[in-house]
Structure 1
Amino acid sequence: MTHLSSSSSIMAMVFYSFLTFFLGPFLTRPFLGNHPDQCIAGFLLGFTISVLLWMKFGKMLIK
């Protein structure tokens, strides 16, 4: 599990978790109005951004 090998990569994982589970749903809820599953779109948005950031900057954190 190379993503838990250093303190900087652990901090990145905490940031990605915050992005996926808190910030993404917070940003998408106003756009979905009365839809019963408002958070799902936020989870998807946050997860997608997290994966793209990990693919772009993850190798720098593992060193």
Structure 2
Amino acid sequence: MSICPKNHSSKARRDSRRANWKMGKMNLVKCSKCGELVMPHRVCKACGSYNKREIVKVEA
């Protein structure tokens, strides 16, 4: 029993399909309180605020 040639994918087809699987660049937004660049939906590391409210106390 050998591989059915009708269903066989060549190495070029396999590799070209895998070529589109890559990491995109990080999306950053400005903090609404201090203007620092942060990842969206995360607490700001610079001022400790999220959605204009202080969540974490940050030491200076």
> TM-score with structure 1 length normalisation?
0.30
In terms of fraction of residues, the more helix-rich structure is: 1
Give 1 or 2 for the bigger CA radius of gyration: 2
In terms of fraction of residues, the more strand-rich structure is: 2
> TM-score with structure 2 length normalisation?
0.31
Name the structure, 1 or 2, with higher relative contact order (CA <8 Å, separation 6+): 1
